[in-house]
Amino acid sequence: MKRTILGISAYYHDSAAALIEDGRIIAAAQEERFTRKKQDEGFPSEAIRYCLKQSGMSLERLDAIVFYDKPLLKFERLLETYYVNAPKGLVQFLSFAPVWIKEKMFLKKLVHESLAEIEPAYDRKKAKLLFSEHHLSHAASAFFPSPFEEAAILTVDGVGEWDTATIMHGRGNGITPLKELKFPHSIGLMYSAFTYFLGFKVNSGEYKVMGMAPYGNPDGPGVKEYKRKILDHIVSVKDDGSISLNQEFFNYATGLRMIGDDKWERLFGFPTRPLESDIEQHHCDCALAVQQITDEILLRMVKEAKRLTGAKNLCMAGGVALNCVSNGKILKSGIFDNLWIQPAAGDAGGALGAAYAAHHIYYGAERSADNSSDLMQGSYLGPEFSQLDVHYMARRYDAVYRVVEDFDELCDIVTDHIAAGKVIGWHQGRMEWGPRALGNRSILGDARNREMQKKLNIKIKQREGFRPFAPSVLMEDCSSFFDLDTPSPYMLLIADVVPDRREQLPEGYHDLPLFEKLYHPRSDVQSITHLDFSARIQTVHRETNPSYHALISKFKEKTGYGLVVNTSFNVRGEPIVCTPEDSFRCFMGTEMDILVIGNCLFVKEQQPAWDNKEKWKRTFHLD
């Protein structure tokens, strides 16, 4: 008898659902992709409906439904925090208490009611509803789908119930907790505080700080001075990677903001950057300083995980595990022989981890790892759509398209456009699980084109011009471009462009204005080469994505370059596209040139009212 388990994450951010059957992932998706509300925190009704449809199951046939954390433990932490700091936290207490008392204190009832709305025949008395601890869900999401029989597990995020980071040991079908860091001391919250201070939104702009850091001057006095101030006043770092945050500089425990703005301005010498205001050199230097400190903290944690477990392999999850810069340094350190990171490392991935924790720990199901591959199926676990779905969408919008039945011919046409400097919307197969577009919901361009980064940021993505782009490179060609000799299928590792592809930088390069640095030639794959010669790499494998591999291989036949620029198929403020309609609307609302959905080819100039971009932009929910 097969055991089928549904995992759920909800009510904080990045709500999601995942369904496994005897340890095999059947489906997984974030709620935002269906509701089109970025980082949707509501109950993942649409994601659950998708998972049930994909599996052919109903709620009553599931063996268990598992929530990704324990709300009563979280409520205990909130109450104790306010009690210890009273009366300082009164305003925040009064803002959160009604919601918790009305809803989250009775979350079990709320989950049952939400499931009954999905299937009216749902019987809460017969259903088995379980709750996993937050960091155990992260750890399970990292270890159980990994290719390792044994591994150290490091989870790092803002905060779960009490834990903000843990070291665990995974072996077979078990996970043993070894060490934890407790709230209010948190690497994730420290990084989020700097995200706020540097003018980005908390819980969504952390990757912008990571992307801005290479614009800092690594040899200048600013970075060194900011690091000194952070280590002297903000955070104390111990040898094992545990940290202590000076709560005099933070408000997240008792207030409605991350930091005390005035104190930070006095310490760093500049005020909190308003959203959308100009970025100056001191912002970049500060971003680089906090990134370097984060790198060092995580490396110390990794060394401690090695000391405690003696394992050869390391698995990682939690929102901080999405920091590709730190991940690249961990890999390069050689502390562990192998590194595997859950592609949906943030809270969405907790849904998958909760299901796996129930399967292997609650039910005791045996586990056999395959050292050659993981269980994530390339992370292509979301919905897919037929040619008939595309046809119905096209009729709805009077869209003009051509069906190219031969896929090799389609690749031939598309790669001609890429080589000519065109921008391609590429929608194929099942949608990706996690925050990265991995070649099924991607916007593609030519990495050799020196204007491609500017074009994609300003005319397509409608976002800050400094933001970097990632390469999708054939796995077999990776070492020809990058200092990386291990697979990176989920775009979670950063490595350097190899020296013989780099351009010589002029003297005083780091003293140039930000955008002069950005547009200065750096390599023969300029559009994916960051200012420090690094790149966030996705290796493309024939086994997990034959269509994408075939497209890039065709591009290599024509140009000699087995890589393309890959960015997520969305604009700022929108989730990554899910349906053909999402893709067509995004295509029409930007200056993309070509849209490919399956075997259907759309050319912008052939569409009715194709030049009325504002009409289509109004359909987006931009922030």
Give the DSSP H/E element, type plus range, for residue 535: strand 534-540
Provide the 10 A C-beta neighbour count for residue 402. 12
pLDDT at position 623 is 35
Select the more confidently predicted residue: 475 or 451. 475
Give the DSSP H/E element, type plus range, for residue 371: none
What's the whole-number average pLDDT of the chain?
92
**Which CATH number do you get for residue 323?**
3.30.420.40
Query: Does the pLDDT value for residue 610 go beyond 60?
Result: no
* For residues 130-144, average pLDDT: 97
pLDDT at position 75 is 67
Distance CA 207, CA 195 (A): 9
Distance CA 502, CA 523 (A): 4
Q: Tell whether 445 and 521 lie within a shared domain.
A: yes
pLDDT at position 107 is 86
Query: Does the pLDDT value for residue 347 go beyond 60?
Result: yes
Q: Tell whether 142 and 219 lie within a shared domain.
A: no
* For residues 27-44, average pLDDT: 96
Check residue 241 and give left, alpha or beta (phi > 0: left; psi -120 to 50: alpha): left
Confidence of residue 513 (pLDDT cuts 50, 70, 90): confident
**Which CATH number do you get for residue 458?**
3.90.870.20
Query: Does the pLDDT value for residue 92 go beyond 80?
Result: no
Q: Tell whether 129 and 223 lie within a shared domain.
A: no
Q: Tell whether 318 and 438 lie within a shared domain.
A: no
Confidence of residue 72 (pLDDT cuts 50, 70, 90): confident
Q: Tell whether 301 and 219 lie within a shared domain.
A: yes
pLDDT at position 518 is 80
- Total domain count for the chain? 3
* For residues 238-258, average pLDDT: 89
607, part of any domain: yes
159, part of any domain: no
164, part of any domain: no
Query: Does the pLDDT value for residue 282 go beyond 80?
Result: yes
Question: Residue-wise over 526-549: b if at least 16 C-beta within 10 A, else e?
Answer: bbbbbbbbbbbbbbbbeebbebbb
536, part of any domain: yes
Q: Tell whether 311 and 359 lie within a shared domain.
A: no
Vertex 56, ends 51 and 60: CA angle to 5°? 85
Q: Tell whether 97 and 192 lie within a shared domain.
A: no
Q: Is 8 helix (H, G, I), strand (E, B) or coil?
A: strand
Q: Tell whether 411 and 494 lie within a shared domain.
A: yes
340, part of any domain: no
DSSP letters of 14-32? Answer: S-EEEEEETTEEEEEEETH
Q: Tell whether 321 and 355 lie within a shared domain.
A: no
* High-pLDDT (> 90) share of the chain, %: 79
Contacts of 162 (CB under 8 A, 6+ apart): 73, 77, 180, 182, 183
Distance CA 84, CA 90 (A): 11
* For residues 243-261, average pLDDT: 87
Q: Tell whether 296 and 413 lie within a shared domain.
A: no
Lowest-pLDDT choice from 323-337, 446-460, 588-602:
446-460
Confidence of residue 622 (pLDDT cuts 50, 70, 90): very low
Q: Tell whether 214 and 256 lie within a shared domain.
A: yes
Query: Does the pLDDT value for residue 465 go beyond 80?
Result: no
Confidence of residue 258 (pLDDT cuts 50, 70, 90): confident
Best mean pLDDT range from 367-376, 516-525, 536-545, 608-617: 536-545
583, part of any domain: yes
Lowest-pLDDT choice from 69-78, 148-157, 328-337, 584-593:
69-78
Query: Does the pLDDT value for residue 147 go beyond 90?
Result: yes
70, part of any domain: yes
Distance CA 110, CA 44 (A): 12
pLDDT at position 53 is 98
Confidence of residue 96 (pLDDT cuts 50, 70, 90): low
Confidence of residue 418 (pLDDT cuts 50, 70, 90): very high
pLDDT at position 621 is 43
pLDDT at position 115 is 97
Best mean pLDDT range from 208-212, 379-383, 504-508: 379-383
Q: Tell whether 467 and 415 lie within a shared domain.
A: yes
Query: Does the pLDDT value for residue 619 go beyond 60?
Result: no
Q: How far is CA 265 from CA 259, 268, 367, in A?
A: 10, 5, 52
Task: Give the pTM.
Answer: 0.94
Query: Does the pLDDT value for residue 456 go beyond 60?
Result: yes
318: domain range? 182-333
68, part of any domain: yes
